[in-house]
A = this chain, B = another copy of it.
Amino acid sequence: MTATAAPVLALRGVSKRFGAVQALTDVDLEIRPGRVTALVGDNGAGKSTLIKTIAGVHAIDSGTISWKGKDVRVARPADAQDLGIATVYQDLSLCDNLDVVANLFLGREVRRWGVLDQVTMEKRSRELLDSLSIRIPSVRIPIASLSGGQRQVVAIARALVGSPEVVILDEPTAALGVEQTAQVLDLVERLREQGLAVVLISHSIADVRAVADEVAVLRLGRNNGVFDVATTTGEDIIAAITGATDNAVTRRRTRKDGSDSHE
């Protein structure tokens, strides 16, 4: 399982510019089935931009995306979905005016004689949300009235409605409580066991080390190394992220250890 299967999705030399900002420069990334690839980097490093190019939200300026060895053009989100890529965006991308069920099945509605099958969708929604241990007052209230964490779980549950081959999670646990976070990490492991390729963006080195197989680091829009989790320490990863061994994290730790060690 940990053997290096052929990548299901590979990016080569991807660049992307927004106006005067060069967000990505010559980025490579390989995603393999049955493996969890963590994508880490500082704020503004370009992680979200990178996965949005995969998801078809942004067209790339240069570089290639290949799917199972064949070059593909991912011009629209629908293209990525057709390939089998499901994405949970950092900003969640939910429709505030629609209720939870409608959001979960948006673009993949269950129909019966051509008509929306509300009953089936509601039933499956409840099951999906229960499996992620979230408590939502009612699956029929609009997303706008949910708490931050509740929305995030809805966004994650959405990715599971289709049957994707690649699941991309952009900071999926940012707003989640401890229990829900644990559930999502469990979910990631279940997906890996099912042979799916998972891309996980996270700022939590602990979470990354807990579930990822390998870690790709982005720094200022460029690749800054790919690490095998089993053989790398958290310090190494942080150093790659911040670009320095002397950073606020280490300074803070040193200070803490030095001054008050009541912790």
Contact = CB atoms under 8 A, between A and B. Distances in A.
Given A18-B145, A137-B21, A230-B262, A183 B248 contact: yes
Interface of A: 18-21, 41-45, 48-49, 90-91, 133-138, 141, 145-150, 152-153, 171, 174-183, 185-186, 203, 205, 209-210, 230, 238, 241-242, 247-249, 251-252, 256, 262-263
Nearest to A209: B263
A243 to B, nearest CB: 10
Contacts of A174: 148, 171, 174-175
B248 A42 contact: no
A130 B55 CA distance: 33
Given A174-B174, A185-B252, 13 more contacts: A42-B179, A43-B147, A43-B148, A43-B149, A44-B147, A149-B203, A178-B205, A179-B242, A181-B203, A182-B247, A182-B251, A186-B248, A186-B252
B186 A148 contact: no
Contacts of A238: 178
B44 A134 contact: yes
30 contacts: A18-B145, A19-B145, A20-B137, A20-B138, A21-B137, A42-B149, A43-B134, A43-B135, A43-B175, A43-B177, A44-B134, A44-B135, A44-B136, A44-B150, A91-B148, A149-B203, A171-B174, A177-B241, A178-B205, A178-B241, A178-B242, A179-B241, A179-B247, A179-B248, A179-B249, A182-B248, A182-B249, A182-B251, A183-B248, A185-B252
Contacts of A90: 148, 175
A230 B262 CA distance: 8
B178 A249 contact: yes
A44 B146 contact: yes
Contacts of A183: 248
